[in-house]
Amino acid sequence: MKTNTSETTANPSKDIDNTRANELFERAKKELVAIDPKSIKQPRVTHQRAAELSSQMLSSLAPRWAHVKDILQPKVFKEYQTQYDEISNHALVFFAAGAAFENSLTTEEAKELKQLVPIVAEHDAYMISWFRPVFRDNADVLNIIDNEISPGRSRLDSAEDVLRLCQLGATHRQLITTLTPLTKTYFDKAEADATRLFQLLAKEGQSKHDAQDLWYRAYTKWADTYYALRNLGTFIFGGGPETQTMFPRIFTPKTKKVSPDTEPAETTFNSFIS
């Protein structure tokens, strides 16, 4: 993964209105706290990516929104209209919640987090650059690299990828250490860095509604809204390649893995059409 896709959430894009984002976040806290804990997802993308996806979603739906209104029952359309109107605000709340979480770290922890992000991203890219040629004739390992490890966009993805690559390295230790400069010492260091990054991003033993919890809830609110609109778009306008480009996934789902980040099932709209 490229390091520049793993920026800290507290490093805002130039076009973000910080004041408005913080105001929206404060107003949204009551609603965020009410989200069912069982439905909470861990952030899988940066706030920049969330903003980009929201903008693309609105751009794809805007010229087609009148058609959506024509085919949906009024009550159902009203619900989607609310999601359509609010998705950009949800992305801003996700940004503000992430900034609040990182600002809740101690000065030393924040410094360590900033240092670890590019280091772990570099581990990710460096190991993949060696694993691909070594396993070019091993379809099973290449499938894991392509479909379960890369590409990724968030800091959480980088940490998760590095830990998975270290597991692969341990499984094929003799081959890897013989054909590449990757050593056991390197793998141990990469694993320690990724583990520490996880610890900083998701501290254990915090109260239910602390900064990290609100960050997760803000992401959940945005992601659920995004996928509700995405499912609507792909259902109405078809599921072909062009539609997939118009309404992209938030992230490439990792196979053979069950987690709260798994994408929601496609919605059936037949009963909602006028």
Q: Tokens standing for 12?
A: 């805002």
d(CA 163, CA 192) in angstroms, rounded, equals 9
The continuous run of DSSP H or E covering 174 comes out as helix 173-179
The CA radius of gyration of the chain, in Å to the nearest whole number, is 20
d(CA 187, CA 164) in angstroms, rounded, equals 11
What's residue 206's pLDDT? Answer: 47
Q: 273 phi and psi, to 5 degrees? A: -85, 135
What's residue 210's pLDDT? Answer: 83
Q: Tell the burial category of 112 from Cβ atoms under 10 Å away from its Cβ (0-12, 13-18, 19+).
A: middle
What's residue 258's pLDDT? Answer: 44
179: Cβ contacts below 8 Å, ≥ 6 apart: 134
Q: 84 phi and psi, to 5 degrees? A: -60, -45
27: Cβ contacts below 8 Å, ≥ 6 apart: none
172: Cβ contacts below 8 Å, ≥ 6 apart: 134, 135, 141
Instruction: Determine if the pTM surpasses 0.85.
Output: no
Residues (pLDDT < 50) of the chain are 1-12, 204-208, 256-260
- The answer to whether 188 and 159 have CB atoms below 8 angstroms apart is no
d(CA 272, CA 113) in angstroms, rounded, equals 47
d(CA 47, CA 73) in angstroms, rounded, equals 33
What's residue 157's pLDDT? Answer: 83
What's residue 203's pLDDT? Answer: 54
